[in-house]
């Protein structure tokens, strides 16, 4: 008997077009009242391109399906739907969250340990609870995340990216009274996009009930931009029923005030309590988890295999004559812009930071340089000015969109854009050096991951690697 006295179903596999069927041990017991869809007979035809195989491989597939079902019946009901096998230590934040009536966690694990994985595990489990309509104070009907990497591929959560470029398209066709955060249950959005005064109040009213904040330490400083982010998050945290998971590898940078503000997002009283108070430490331990790599390889976790030795190697390359002349032309142009800058502080700062933005893009790739120049031609300087007056110089490196250069579209600028267009179609010596570095790794069976500074560079590298390694599957993973 199942829940509320309902009758359970015992299901057994029947092989397609075969007199053989699953044994009595190959059964699954289901309670129809706990299923989201009615239980009905199903038939799955062979795919059109199926190849003949041997019984041993068929048995292996059957074992994999059976073990997946068994894993789904374990203590974490969402585990069967994951596209990976989490490591033991990554389950600790999930256990902590399940013990709280309203999950409020600060996950401060070291870089590379898997904070994103740990937050995703929490989200996926609570999403399963909500989907099964089981009594729980922890639902995940709507979520907001400032980091969307792997949500769909790893956790099966299809989130939409909300940016200045996608917001208008997502809002198109929605009723006037409905915001895109109401229309789309899972969203990934930059805090710098929603902290703006014109968006902040409307967002706060429609904010999802489950919030994941990546790089949370960048939201608690005293600079203007960080102050705006903190005001936004502290306003969200005032809702006692809102679930919040904060991620950072550097929770405490030596600034006691900033650390107290970070902890106040979990529980307001944490901001004024003393670490010397044993009761305070006991309360904080329910919400705060921090592991270093050495804690995992030298303790009882036995996870040394998870962290290979870190090796650093430089691969110098030589620019072609055309690439060198283009970079020198950009430097000359930028020097002239800064030298001729006049007016007030705003104009001078825009000139200086605009030249720096352009030189960074050009140094990344001709494609990124071309994108920055085109953004300026399209009057997209709003990507640059907020970064300058945000006074968060250390956060600028996290911006992967190519900013506008904030220069007038004079003939010299147009000439640089034409040169960048020509270079983008020519062999790239930096890309060639990358191919030379990756070739021996790929021959050894490795699956390299290449990190790029800008989105345009990532797409440029992806296309170049596809040409260099046509037999491999190469994808560009970005937040857009």
**What is the mean predicted confidence (pLDDT) over 174-200?**
80
User: 211: which 2 tokens?
Assistant: 């919030």
- The residues with which 246 forms a beta bridge, in sequence order, are 106, 213
- State the pLDDT at residue 461: 94
Task: Express each pLDDT in 264-275 by its tens digit.
Answer: 999 888 887 777
Coil, helix or strand at residue 360 = helix
Question: Per residue in 422-431, pLDDT tens?
Answer: 888 889 999 9
- Please write the tens of the pLDDT for every residue from 43-62: 777 767 777 777 777 777 76
Q: Is the per-residue pLDDT at 408 higher than 80?
A: no
DSSP H or E stretch at residue 323: helix 321-340
Higher-scoring residue by pLDDT: 468, 155: 468
pLDDT tens for 227-255 read 788 888 888 899 998 999 999 998 888 88
* Residue 217, SS3 per DSSP: helix
Helix (H) and strand (E) counts in the chain: 19, 9
Rounded to an integer, what distance in angstroms lies between the CA atom of residue 68 and that of residue 98? Answer: 23
pLDDT of residue 192: 74
In this prediction, residue 158 carries a pLDDT of: 80
User: CATH for 82-306?
Assistant: 3.40.50.10810
Per mean pLDDT, which range of 68-82, 259-273, 301-315 is the poorest? 68-82
Nearest to 388, CA basis, from 330, 361, 348: 348
What average pLDDT does this structure show over 443-468?
Answer: 91
Domain ranges of the chain: 3-72, 82-306, 321-424, 429-468
Residue with tokens 């670490």: 275
Of 187, 193, 228, the residue nearest 208 (C-alpha): 187
292 confidence band (pLDDT: 50, 70, 90): confident
Tokens of 187: 């969203």
């Amino acid at each position: 008997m199942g829940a509320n006295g309902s009758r359970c179903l015992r299901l057994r596999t029947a092989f397609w077009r075969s007199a053989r069927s699953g044994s009595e041990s190959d059964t699954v017991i289901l309670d129809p009242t706990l299923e989201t869809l009615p239980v009905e007979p199903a038939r799955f035809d062979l795919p059109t391109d199926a190849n003949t195989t041997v019984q041993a491989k068929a048995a292996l597939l059957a074992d994999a399906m059976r073990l997946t079902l068994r894993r789904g019946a374990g203590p974490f009901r969402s585990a069967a739907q994951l596209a990976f096998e989490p490591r033991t230590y990554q389950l600790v934040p999930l256990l902590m969250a399940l013990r709280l009536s309203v999950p409020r966690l600060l996950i401060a694990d070291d870089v590379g340990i898997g904070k994103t994985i740990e937050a995703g595990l929490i989200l996926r489990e609570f999403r399963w609870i909500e989907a099964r309509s089981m009594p729980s104070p922890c639902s995940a009907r709507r979520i907001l995340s400032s980091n969307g990497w792997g949500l769909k591929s790893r956790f099966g959560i299809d989130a939409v990216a909300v940016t200045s470029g996608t917001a208008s398209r997502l809002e198109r066709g929605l009723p006037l009274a409905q915001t895109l955060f109401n229309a789309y249950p899972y969203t990934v959005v930059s805090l710098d996009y929603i902290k703006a005064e014109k968006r902040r109040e409307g967002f706060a009213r429609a904010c999802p009930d489950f919030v994941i904040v990546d790089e949370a330490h960048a939201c608690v400083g005293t600079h203007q931009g960080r102050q705006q982010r903190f005001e936004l998050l502290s306003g969200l945290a005032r809702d006692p029923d809102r679930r919040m998971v904060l991620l950072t590898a550097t929770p405490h940078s030596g600034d006691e005030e900033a650390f107290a503000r970070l902890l106040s997002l979990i529980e307001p009283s944490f901001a004024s309590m003393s670490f010397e108070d044993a009761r305070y430490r006991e309360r904080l331990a329910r919400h705060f988890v921090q592991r270093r790599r050495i804690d995992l390889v030298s303790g009882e976790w036995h996870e040394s295999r998870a962290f290979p030795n870190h090796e650093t190697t430089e691969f110098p390359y030589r620019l072609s004559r055309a690439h060198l002349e283009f970079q020198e032309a950009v430097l000359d142009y930028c020097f002239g812009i800064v030298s001729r800058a006049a007016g007030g502080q705003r104009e001078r700062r825009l000139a200086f930071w605009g030249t720096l933005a352009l030189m960074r893009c050009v140094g990344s790739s001709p494609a990124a340089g071309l994108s920055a120049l085109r953004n300026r031609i399209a009057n997209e300087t709003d990507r640059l000015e907020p970064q300058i007056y945000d006074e968060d110089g250390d956060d600028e490196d996290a911006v992967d969109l190519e900013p506008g250069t904030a220069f007038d579209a004079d003939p010299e600028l147009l000439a640089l854009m034409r040169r960048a267009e020509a270079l983008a179609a020519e062999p790239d010596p930096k890309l060639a050096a990358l191919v030379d570095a990756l070739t021996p790794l790929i021959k050894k069976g490795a699956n390299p991951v290449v990190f790029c500074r800008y989105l345009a560079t990532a797409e440029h590298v992806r296309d170049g690697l596809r040409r260099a390694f046509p037999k491999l599957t190469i994808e560009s993973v970005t937040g857009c």
